[in-house]
Amino acid sequence: MFKSLFSSIKSSNSTGVTIVSPISGKAVHLEEVPDPAFSQKLVGEGIAIIPEEGKVVSPINGEVALIFPTKHAVGLVSEEGIEILIHIGIDTVSMEGEGFKTHVKQGDKVKVGDLLIEFSLDLVKEKATSTTTPIVITNFDRINHLELAPFESVKIKESTIMKIDIKP
């Protein structure tokens, strides 16, 4: 009885953010990403997806903070101030933008489901170390609690991949 009372008090003082899947594919633990910066969570905490198709959409309502010049990654800031990095594949920076097409620019406002980047999945498979795509929260110091989705198939714009409780 007291536990539910205290949990309702806690949730009324904090802000929750839901992150939907920006890509269709199989969700995996960050520890499975073949890059120590992500697998050791040096960049941030989150999840990775092995993509089934070459589309990335916005997982949140917010703003485009950064599009990498090589178009292989995008940084977003949610309306609540959560910073999200979506990094398409591993060692894709060496592709120098080949096979990537951006649909947004820095400063653009985005809504859940807005198309951010299209990429050639076949070309990434051919030229990069891995297609595994980390989706990480880079300002984890703002997070009170993070709940990750089950590690299974996820659908673009539909599946919830993270639920975040922001520190008050």
In a domain, 4, yes or no: no
Spatial contact of 125 and 80, defined as CB atoms under 8 Å apart: no
Percent of the chain with pLDDT over 90: 88
Taking residue 52's Cβ as centre, other Cβ atoms within 10 Å add up to 16
In a domain, 46, yes or no: yes
In a domain, 159, yes or no: yes
What average pLDDT score do residues 8-14 get? 42
Query: Residue 4: pLDDT above 60?
Result: no
Predicted pLDDT of residue 14: 59
In a domain, 30, yes or no: yes
Which of these, 13, 6, 48, lies nearest to 135 by C-alpha position? 48
Q: Which two tokens stand for residue 123?
A: 């070309």
Cα distance from N-terminal residue to C-terminal residue, the chain: 24
- Note the pLDDT tens digit of each residue in 122-150: 999 999 999 999 999 999 999 999 999 88
Q: Which two tokens stand for residue 92?
A: 């894709």
Q: Could you tell me the CATH number of the domain that includes residue 38?
A: 2.70.70.10
- Note the pLDDT tens digit of each residue in 51-90: 999 999 999 999 999 999 999 999 999 999 999 999 999 9
Global pTM reads 0.91
In a domain, 9, yes or no: no
In a domain, 43, yes or no: yes
**Residue 37 to residue 39: CA distance in whole angstroms:** 6
Predicted pLDDT of residue 2: 32
- For residue 45, what is the enclosing H or E element? strand 45-51
Q: Looking at the annotation, which residues are catalytic?
A: 87
Which of these, 43, 39, 109, lies nearest to 76 by C-alpha position? 109
- Note the pLDDT tens digit of each residue in 106-122: 999 999 999 999 999 99
Q: Which two tokens stand for residue 87?
A: 């990094």
In a domain, 129, yes or no: yes
Reading across the β-sheet that carries 73-78, which strands appear in turn? 109-110, 62-67, 73-78, 83-87, 133-137, 45-51, 25-28, 153-154
Range of the domain at 104: 15-166
Spatial contact of 162 and 45, defined as CB atoms under 8 Å apart: no
Spatial contact of 76 and 86, defined as CB atoms under 8 Å apart: yes
Q: Nearest 5°: phi and psi at 101?
A: -135, 120
In a domain, 8, yes or no: no
The count of structural domains within the chain is 1
- For residue 36, what is the enclosing H or E element? helix 36-39
